[in-house]
Amino acid sequence: MIRALASRLRPVLPPRLRRAARAVLLGWGWLTADLRQEPSIVVLGAQRAGTTTLFRLLSEHPGLCRPTVDKGTGYFDDGYRHGRRWYRAHFPLRWTTRGRSTFECSGYYLFHPLAAARIARDLPGCQVVALVRDPVTRAHSAHRHESARGFDQLPFAEAVAREAERTAGQTELLAEAPGATSFSHRHHAYLQRGEYAVQIDRYVAALGRDRVHVVDADALFADPVDVYVDLQRRLGLPVHRPAVVGRWNERPGAPLPPELAAHLRRYFDAPDAALADHLGRTPSWREEATT
């Protein structure tokens, strides 16, 4: 009841009151954490690859329950220091789920070097979903997103040219110092986040291939119901066909200059070829080039 009321009020409350409502929900969740149901499905990202759309679809599924506060918790990346009780505070009370499974969507899990091992350790029976999108389009969309949030002042071409310099040593820092966080790793790794296969490999190694489900987001947007139904079957969920599938949280922008787009496409030749092994076919954004 509290969560339902907060969900209705959140869009009309000013930011300060939204933060206060969130704190109240998490406080109540903390007190009742032992009675709460951790997720059996975790959507990992990638960032700007349709996680909000998939979150909306999963929230409408009659066999699933969403987190109580936000679409994701960020626990297995930068929030791991808060501890397991804090994590449980984000999910519904077990008696309210009425046999339904719970899930969350956190867009940094796929890229964070420690998230796979943490999920395997803390949620040993869960299944994970990785959404992958044309990495050139994803990188450009991510830059618009980070710029709009005030996290990057460089133009896109300069940001990708300087990415290696800006993020140097940050993956190693996160892997070697479990309590560390990295602003540049999280907000400036536009090309590295599109190297999907190496990220998915971590989850396959930690969880096993049968529990890692990769979804081509471009195919999802082109044929949303069929692709979503296929994912439900892979997850072992009863099939639910949504009446409408929107495309939420997309930031429109000007197209890339053709020379830069072509350069970035070449950059992703090898990563996209490696991704095909996880998808079981050529990524949709590469199909025209192979026909």
> What are the pLDDT digits (tens) for 210-244?
999 999 999 999 999 999 999 999 999 999 999 87
pLDDT tens column, 86-124: 999 999 999 999 999 999 999 999 999 999 999 999 999
Copy the structure tokens of residue 184.
């540049």
Return the closest-CA partner of residue 214 out of 206, 223, 203, 225.
203
Report pLDDT for 112: 98
Q: Does residue 287 belong to any structural domain of this protein?
A: no
**Tally of domains within the chain:** 1
pTM of the model as a whole: 0.92
CATH number at residue 148: 3.40.50.300
Q: Does residue 74 belong to any structural domain of this protein?
A: yes
pLDDT tens column, 153-173: 999 999 999 999 999 999 999
Rounded-to-integer distance, Cα 264 and Cα 284, Å: 17
Report pLDDT for 19: 75
Q: Does residue 115 belong to any structural domain of this protein?
A: yes
284 pLDDT higher than 90:
yes
Q: Does residue 291 belong to any structural domain of this protein?
A: no
Are the C-beta atoms of residues 94 and 40 closer than 8 Å to each other?
A: no
Report pLDDT for 248: 60
- For the chain, give the secondary structure using H, E and C: CHHHHHHHHHHHCCHHHHHHHHHHHHHHHHHCHHHECCCCEEEEECCCCCHHHHHHHHHHCCCEECCCCCCCCCCCCCCHHHCHHHHHCCCCEHHHHCCCEEEEECCCCCCCCCHHHHHHHHCCCCEEEEEECCHHHHHHHHHHHHHHCCCCCCCHHHHHHCHHHHCCCHHHHHHHCCCCCCHHHHHCCCCHHHCHHHHHHHHHHHHCHHHEEEEEHHHHHHCHHHHHHHHHHHHCCCCCCCCCCCCCCCCCCCCCCHHHHHHHHHHCHHHHHHHHHHHCCCCHHHHHHHC
Q: Does residue 106 belong to any structural domain of this protein?
A: yes
pLDDT confidence tier of residue 291, bands split at 50, 70 and 90: very low
Are the C-beta atoms of residues 192 and 21 closer than 8 Å to each other?
A: no
Q: Would you say how long the chain is, in residues?
A: 291
pLDDT tens column, 119-163: 999 999 999 999 999 999 999 999 999 999 999 999 999 999 999
The parent domain of residue 148 ranges over: 37-239+255-282
Report pLDDT for 11: 58
Q: Does residue 63 belong to any structural domain of this protein?
A: yes
78 pLDDT higher than 90:
yes
Q: Does residue 18 belong to any structural domain of this protein?
A: no
Q: Does residue 13 belong to any structural domain of this protein?
A: no
pLDDT tens column, 9-55: 455 557 777 777 778 888 999 999 999 999 999 999 999 999 999 99
The torsion angle over the Cα atoms of residues 7, 55, 285 and 211, rounded to 10 degrees, is 160
